Structure 1
Amino acid sequence: MRGKKFILIATAVIITALAVYFAPFGKTNLTTYIMDVKYDDTNKVISGLETVDFINTDDTVLNQLYLHLYPNAFKEKDKIPFTKEEVELAYPYGFKPGYIDIKNITFEGKKMASYKIEGESQQILRIQLPEKLSKGNRIKFTIDFKVQLPPATGRFGYGEKTVQVANWYPILSVYDKKGWNNDPYYALGDPFYSDVSNYNVKLTVPRNMVVASTGMVKDEKIYNNQKTIMINAENVRDFAMVMSPDFKVAETDIDGIKVKSYYFNDEYGTKALKFAKDAVKFYNEFIGKYPYKQYSVVQSDFYLGGMEYPNLVMISKSLYTKNNIFNLEYVIAHETAHQWWYGIVGNNEVKEAWLDEGLTEYTTIMYIERYYGKAAAESLYNYIISGEFNKYIKVNKDESMIKTLGQFKGWNEYTNIVYNKGAMVFHQLRGLIGEKKFKEVMNKYYDEYKYKNATTEDFIDVVDSVTGKDTGGFFQEWLN
């Protein structure tokens, strides 16, 4: 995100039919989410079924599974994931709850599952497995659920013109070397951590609704006043949508990738398309080829700059103006870089937010350098990154970068440490190892951790392998 400036047998038949419709997938060792959901625009409710075909890829034998229920973070006014300063911006027309109801869960469409909803604000779903699941084995379970969207102009909710549907369905927690990652939806940063999976989504909406989403539309049919869209998304970390009956859409092509702009104003919607195309072109060249067929930039009722999701980014509608044209370009360049750093190469955004945000912010500076020259990039870097951090550090002693989102005291601290100091690490590294080696690091990091989750240690190992030197001291000094 960039915003510092700115049941049952019948069910089994339905799900099986969807699976057959979309098969085959590119990777058979991935977990698959198959959804059949309907959006009620009058009541702002999404309801339907989600079947999860889960494969255990870890060495540990699992007795239970954990899934995030992020919508429940929006259920109680005194627990919503916004700072006090943000509440009026996020809820311009007052608070109403958002949440997710779990109606039932079945295994293979037949056996009722034993489950419990727990954790902070009931954000975690724990499912007891009918038998132990060892590495390489799979299990399918179906969740019947309903989501109530809140009147919130953030990632999850709706405003005057758009409906933001992100972090909205039950999604598996990541199981890694430290066990299950069941962190709550923090108010600061991007509190998400997920594995790459495959998605098949059958979405029913009002016939006049235009939908921008993760993945590719495979089919679309209209029945009376409704429209059914079949969407396929392979090798992605999440599935998000933005909807509006008023969207205009423009598209172009770069390197065989369809780039789309969803907007309301022709002049700035087409400018957004150009910025997105330029960003994809540069990142393809500098980092590595974007592996998906489509990427969308979506003007949204989003109050805080921009937000990244696989194949799709939300951009605040407030940036689509003459006075904000540079901010629009910068935010689009930043969010597009997130397609590489977070989308393709993942990391734990709760515990190591600097790794994707710092790298994304510095990659954005390199975008400026590519299209506006080194002098402009250096000036911008000195002004909004190192300059802002130096102001911050004069009055703040804590500059440690390796800490969880819950340990940050506010947006000022988070922004300066995660974005600004994070970008400074990569700027200094580039100066230390030189242009050629820096590009080699970016290429190797991307190639080795594509579709995986990387850690700070993984990145340092890549730097050391490229340079043939031990750079641990350099990183220790900066990170700690």
Structure 2
Amino acid sequence: MKKILFPLLIIFLLPLACNIYTQEQTPVYVTTSPHNMVPSFDLSLHKQAMQPCFADDVDKNIKKGITIYNIKINIIPSSLATEPKFIGSMHVHYTNTESVMLNQLFFRLFPNTSAFGGTMNISSTYINNQLINPELVSGNSTLIIPLSTPLAPNDHVQIYMTYEATIPTTMQNGYGRYTYYNDVLSLPNFYPIIPVFDDKGWHVETSIPYGDVTYTDIALYDVTITAPKNMIIVTSGDIIAKSTRHEVQTVRAVTGPMRDFYITMSEKFQSVSQEIDGIKINSYYPAEQTEQGKFALTVAVESFRTFNQLFIPYPYHEFDVVAVPTKAGGMEYPGIIVVAKRYYYQTEKDFFEFVTVHETIHQWWYGLVGNDQINYPWLDEALTQYTCIQYYENRYGDGQRKRQIDRWFNNSYQILLNTNSDRPVAGMVSDFSGADEYGAVVYGKGPLFFEAVRTQLGDEAYFDSMRTYAECYRYSIADPQDLLDIFTEVGGQNVEDLYQEWILGSQ
């Protein structure tokens, strides 16, 4: 992963209005593969997942050496009644975008972690058509591929894998994010995925049951899914083709530059859609909960209405909100969020609304602007929490700022103080004693740093800073110092004292 240098004098913010798109020639990569398979990476297809005025973002990232995944996954229909499983194959076009030689490549196998509770077994691995024997470490959750010839900067390599995996049918593991439960199949990180490499090396930190587990660069995804024909399939990106034969359907989905790829499906999904700013927003919900499904759609639409204007426009063609069983309130994935299905059966909508807004905002803070969610979880989570306040201000009026800050943040922080439980917001996910402390500190106390910064800078300077942050690190990765530098250079004031007080300090 290459860090973006923050250009102090020549930042050109992306205009909200789309410019005319001039189509460039998009390459088609063909790679030699085992078993007489010759996949074609038709990269022009990925532009279908972008808004027309952002389609050239595909070409720009190809030129920078973006990783390309071509994945095939087959859900075994007969297994769904007993032990759900799938088989998969994957071609990866990987370019070394680092400044050093790489002697190894690393892949994460998240189904093998305790946070997922499934299994994933690699059947075969090829590098440039040569069969190899990779090494499994960290409880079989990390795959190390040796490179017989070190990969020089800007050189590329082709990887081919076949694998099979099982899916748990309970909610006992972590948030229950990877499961087939209550007739809903949820598949995050269902494929071997390359983690970030930076000056600290490969990021293969151990996943724990709570918090986010992935830290990845953007990539292009072309995913073909075979599943029972009665399943309604929802994915990251856009579904561009669908066919049915006998009792089986096959769908093909592609993405623009995204950090990972998520699949969910159910026989019982109903949906409603609305367009805003050229983006198709889809809400998938239990068949008997139409009113709540429409409510989730409205909240998502109003979120996009606010944040497309306040920050930078969402560049993709579609966005999905899906009701999924999970012990978390919700989870974010590129181009798609899940909201806990239980909220669709409750009459009280306040938390339902807040969770939907929160997960939608992650499309900016995590999706477009990446960060190390394992070592610096506050950078996207606390910022996302605080950004929710702008939704309430924009939709319901200025008086909402204090009301919502008191409700969601000040009250949580006061409990920490009253119980002598305050601690620094900074820290790895695993540094916290458990999900309760992690939630109270990162989601409750952490947003108060951004409120303090906004108060000190003033609204104009604060939001200018956040727009610059979004544009400067779009499709890239930021760290805490990057954000502090932008507050100083764009906001015009040093906020180090506030950072020391709210993020690094405790009472």
Q: Which residue of 2 is the match for residue 16 of structure 1?
A: 39
SS in 1 for 2:255: strand
* TM-fit CA distance, 1:18: 5.7
Q: Which letter does structure 2 place at the counterpart of 1:100?
A: M
| Alignment of 1:105 onto 2:125 | yes
Query: For the residues of structure 1 that align with 2:453 and 2:466, how far apart are their CA atoms?
Result: 12
Moved more, 20-29 or 149-158: 20-29
> Are the equivalent residues in 1 in contact too, given 2:216–2:259 (CA < 8 A)?
yes
Q: Which residue of 2 is the match for residue 5 of structure 1?
A: none
Match of 2:135 among 88, 102, 116: 116
Q: Which residue of 1 is the match for residue 50 of structure 2?
A: none
Q: Which letter does structure 2 place at the counterpart of 1:406?
A: S
SS in 2 for 1:323: coil
> Are the equivalent residues in 2 in contact too, given 1:116–1:125 (CA < 8 A)?
yes
Identity %: 29
Q: Which letter does structure 2 place at the counterpart of 1:226?
A: V
Match of 2:184 among 134, 138, 162: 162
Match of 2:97 among 42, 57, 71: 57
Query: For the residues of structure 2 that align with 1:298 and 1:282, how far apart are their CA atoms?
Result: 21
> Are the equivalent residues in 1 in contact too, given 2:46–2:256 (CA < 8 A)?
no
* TM-fit CA distance, 1:372: 1.6
Query: For the residues of structure 2 that align with 1:158 and 1:333, how far apart are their CA atoms?
Result: 25
Q: Which letter does structure 1 place at the counterpart of 2:115?
A: P
Q: Which letter does structure 2 place at the counterpart of 1:435?
A: D
| Alignment of 1:208 onto 2:226 | no
* TM-fit CA distance, 1:359: 0.6
* TM-fit CA distance, 1:467: 2.3
* TM-fit CA distance, 1:20: 7.3
Gaps (5+ residues) in structure 1?
1-7, 74-79, 83-96
> Are the equivalent residues in 2 in contact too, given 1:441–1:466 (CA < 8 A)?
yes
Query: For the residues of structure 2 that align with 1:388 and 1:37, how far apart are their CA atoms?
Result: 43
Q: 1:473 and 1:289, CA in 2 relative to 1: closer, same or farther beyond 3 A?
A: same
Match of 1:348 among 369, 372, 377: 372
Counterparts of 1:289-328 in structure 2 under 5 Å? Answer: 289-328=313-352
| Alignment of 1:182 onto 2:204 | yes
> Are the equivalent residues in 2 in contact too, given 1:262–1:269 (CA < 8 A)?
yes
Query: For the residues of structure 2 that align with 1:429 and 1:298, how far apart are their CA atoms?
Result: 34
> Are the equivalent residues in 2 in contact too, given 1:15–1:51 (CA < 8 A)?
no
Q: Which residue of 2 is the match for residue 438 of structure 1?
A: 462
Query: For the residues of structure 2 that align with 1:41 and 1:18, how far apart are their CA atoms?
Result: 28
**CA shift digits 1:351-394 (9 cap, x unpaired):** 10000000100111221121122323312211221111111123
Query: For the residues of structure 2 that align with 1:314 and 1:322, how far apart are their CA atoms?
Result: 16
Query: For the residues of structure 2 that align with 1:314 and 1:457, how far apart are their CA atoms?
Result: 31
Query: For the residues of structure 2 that align with 1:177 and 1:10, how far apart are their CA atoms?
Result: 32
Counterparts of 1:77-476 in structure 2 under 5 Å? Answer: 80-81=114-115, 98-108=118-128, 110-119=129-138, 121-153=139-171, 154-264=176-286, 265-476=289-500
Query: For the residues of structure 1 that align with 2:42 and 2:459, how far apart are their CA atoms?
Result: 47
Q: 1:357 and 1:289, CA in 2 relative to 1: closer, same or farther beyond 3 A?
A: same
Q: 1:285 and 1:12, CA in 2 relative to 1: closer, same or farther beyond 3 A?
A: farther
Moved more, 467-476 or 339-348: 467-476
Q: 1:212 and 1:349, CA in 2 relative to 1: closer, same or farther beyond 3 A?
A: same
Q: Which residue of 2 is the match for residue 77 of structure 1?
A: none
* TM-fit CA distance, 1:477: 2.5
Q: Which letter does structure 2 place at the counterpart of 1:107?
A: I
Query: For the residues of structure 2 that align with 1:57 and 1:355, how far apart are their CA atoms?
Result: 24
Query: For the residues of structure 2 that align with 1:254 and 1:450, how far apart are their CA atoms?
Result: 21
Q: Which residue of 2 is the match for residue 69 of structure 1?
A: 109
SS in 2 for 1:114: coil
Q: 1:395 and 1:98, CA in 2 relative to 1: closer, same or farther beyond 3 A?
A: same
> Are the equivalent residues in 2 in contact too, given 1:214–1:241 (CA < 8 A)?
yes
Higher helix share: 1
TM-score when scaled to structure 1? 0.90
SS in 1 for 2:449: helix
Query: For the residues of structure 2 that align with 1:98 and 1:292, how far apart are their CA atoms?
Result: 31
> Are the equivalent residues in 2 in contact too, given 1:161–1:300 (CA < 8 A)?
no
**CA shift digits 1:199-223 (9 cap, x unpaired):** 0111111111111110111111111
Q: Which residue of 2 is the match for residue 92 of structure 1?
A: none
Query: For the residues of structure 2 that align with 1:23 and 1:164, how far apart are their CA atoms?
Result: 24
> Are the equivalent residues in 1 in contact too, given 2:329–2:339 (CA < 8 A)?
yes
* TM-fit CA distance, 1:473: 2.6
**CA shift digits 1:129-182 (9 cap, x unpaired):** 121111111001111011111113421111112111002211001101211111
Moved more, 358-367 or 460-469: 460-469
> Are the equivalent residues in 2 in contact too, given 1:389–1:417 (CA < 8 A)?
yes
Query: For the residues of structure 2 that align with 1:39 and 1:307, how far apart are their CA atoms?
Result: 23
Query: For the residues of structure 2 that align with 1:152 and 1:272, how far apart are their CA atoms?
Result: 26
Moved more, 307-316 or 412-421: 412-421
Q: Which residue of 1 is the match for residue 15 of structure 2?
A: none
